[in-house]
Amino acid sequence: MEGAVSSSSQHESVSTDEYLERIYLRFAMIESDEQLQKFTDAYLIRLIETAGAEPKAVTKVGEILSHYNRRAKSNPAVKYPVETLLSMLNGKSAVTANLSLVYLRFATVHLNDDDYLSLLPVLLEVLSSKINEPSQCADDEIKSTCEAIRSGTKVSTPAMTVDEYLMVAEKVFPKDVSIVPIKLCVVKLLTSGLFEDSAIFSIIVLGSAEGIEAVSGAAEAILKKIDIQLCVDNRVVVDELMAAYLGTTMPSKPVIGKSSAVSPANSMMKQKILQFLTRSAIAPVSYMNNMKVCLDGLTQTSITKLLIAALNFLLKVIEKMPAAAQKNLSLLLFQRLQKILGEVKNGTAVSLIYRCMGMLGNRDISIVSAQEETVMLAFRAIATVSLLSSAHSS
């Protein structure tokens, strides 16, 4: 393996894709712990910085780091650039900070007391600059959203009307208290024993998709203690989750204020909601909101995780589709799936699309009888996957 580190000028002279491909090839040539350490010293930070600076490179960097992690994570011979990783937590890129945290966790397993002591000044410096950052970001976002609403600008207030957002922001949210402690207090109140699990479930699900780690972590911890299956098999809970996803109102939960328009959930919330709808026995047959959720999910081709979650839910919908719904909706779903097939590159998503199309075609052969090209594409895709699997196993 080449031990030399390529210079920044070399990086600038080639495209990012080519640069990352070269790094990947160098990783593939590693045969010893010594070479793995040299690779870590030369490229780990560069890969993290590239992912943070160039969004289009995130997938390729993730692929390289996935292979790297398998060899390095549990290898005590690998020493990570801990000081540099700590300093990168202060960067503006969330991708950079998150990847840095991953390798800091790997590193701490093999650090001793002397290592911790030597790193303490750097850690204190990072903490002092980061301690108020999440709250401030959230507070600034609330203020800017309120200003936009007052000025008449159309803004998204997930699962709320604009009037409800203003009420919470201006009346419930005091100026001298950060939003994070308030949200944590709400979570504690909801789980204080005053409410049944089914009454708080949809709120906790939305909380688990919060962009603030302290809040989402608290919500996730609560979900582990709740009888999830009992909740997702409750029709009221399913209706609440679907209403939050779609941005619709419910008779059982009237909106506050003059506005009746509820913003749909954001992409992270939608992904979480879909995970629980897929586990439900009744959500797949809750017409017509189940179809609205599926059709919305099929438009999310640029957000792979959300699309995959939607396709998994669609599979459940198709499996449980009654004859009347099948007659009216199968062709529509098949055409929507066929439409996005050319846009999707992720292998998991593509396989789920073909599974959905196959199930629809199996139920109604007339749908695929005139789709010779689609059938041929499906067989080619299966053949390609089989060849890749054989090559990988050999």
Report yes or no on 390 lying in a domain. no
pLDDT at 379: 54
102 lies in the same domain as 191:
no
199 lies in the same domain as 278:
yes
Determine the Cα–Cα distance for residues 393 and 315; give it in Å rounded to an integer.
Answer: 29
pLDDT, tens digit (0-9, with 9 covering 90-100), for 267-307 = 999 999 999 999 999 999 999 999 999 999 999 999 999 99
209 lies in the same domain as 277:
yes
Average pLDDT over residues 172-189: 70
92 lies in the same domain as 189:
no
Report yes or no on 273 lying in a domain. yes
> What percentage of residues in the chain have a pLDDT greater than 90?
40
Confidence of residue 7 (pLDDT cuts 50, 70, 90): very low
Report yes or no on 349 lying in a domain. no
pLDDT at 190: 84
Confidence of residue 6 (pLDDT cuts 50, 70, 90): very low
pLDDT at 204: 94
Instruction: Report which of 269, 315, 272, 256 is spatially closest to residue 290, judged by C-alpha positions.
Output: 315
Determine the Cα–Cα distance for residues 253 and 383; give it in Å rounded to an integer.
Answer: 51
106 lies in the same domain as 183:
no
pLDDT at 160: 83
Contact in structure between 355 and 381 (CB atoms under 8 Å)? no
87 lies in the same domain as 170:
no
pLDDT, tens digit (0-9, with 9 covering 90-100), for 141-156 = 777 788 888 888 888 8
149 lies in the same domain as 280:
yes
pLDDT, tens digit (0-9, with 9 covering 90-100), for 97-112 = 888 888 988 888 888 8
Report yes or no on 88 lying in a domain. yes
Check the CA dihedral 326-331-332-338 and report its sign. Answer: positive
Tally of domains within the chain: 2
Domain range for 55: 15-111
Give the mean pLDDT of the chain. 82
92 lies in the same domain as 161:
no
DSSP state of 75: -
Report yes or no on 242 lying in a domain. yes
In the predicted model, is pLDDT for residue 63 greater than 70?
A: yes
pLDDT, tens digit (0-9, with 9 covering 90-100), for 333-388 = 999 998 998 899 898 999 999 899 989 988 888 776 656 565 555 555 555 544 44
216 lies in the same domain as 276:
yes
Determine the Cα–Cα distance for residues 218 and 214; give it in Å rounded to an integer.
Answer: 6
155 lies in the same domain as 279:
yes
Report yes or no on 154 lying in a domain. yes
Contact in structure between 157 and 259 (CB atoms under 8 Å)? no
Contact in structure between 31 and 1 (CB atoms under 8 Å)? yes
Pick from 150-154, 165-169, 189-193, 201-205 the range whose average pLDDT is largest. Answer: 201-205
Query: Which residues partner with 263 through β-bridges?
Result: 158
In the predicted model, is pLDDT for residue 263 greater than 60?
A: yes
Report yes or no on 254 lying in a domain. no
Contact in structure between 206 and 159 (CB atoms under 8 Å)? yes
Task: Report the amino acid identity of residue 187.
Answer: V
Average pLDDT over residues 148-167: 83
Report yes or no on 120 lying in a domain. no
226 lies in the same domain as 156:
yes
Determine the Cα–Cα distance for residues 206 and 148; give it in Å rounded to an integer.
Answer: 23
Alpha helices in 42-93 (DSSP H): 45-53, 58-72, 82-87
Give the other-Cβ count within 10 Å of 111's Cβ. 15
The secondary structure of 129-168 as a DSSP string is HHTTHHHHHHHHHHHHHHHHHHTT-----BTS-HHHHHHI
175 lies in the same domain as 272:
yes
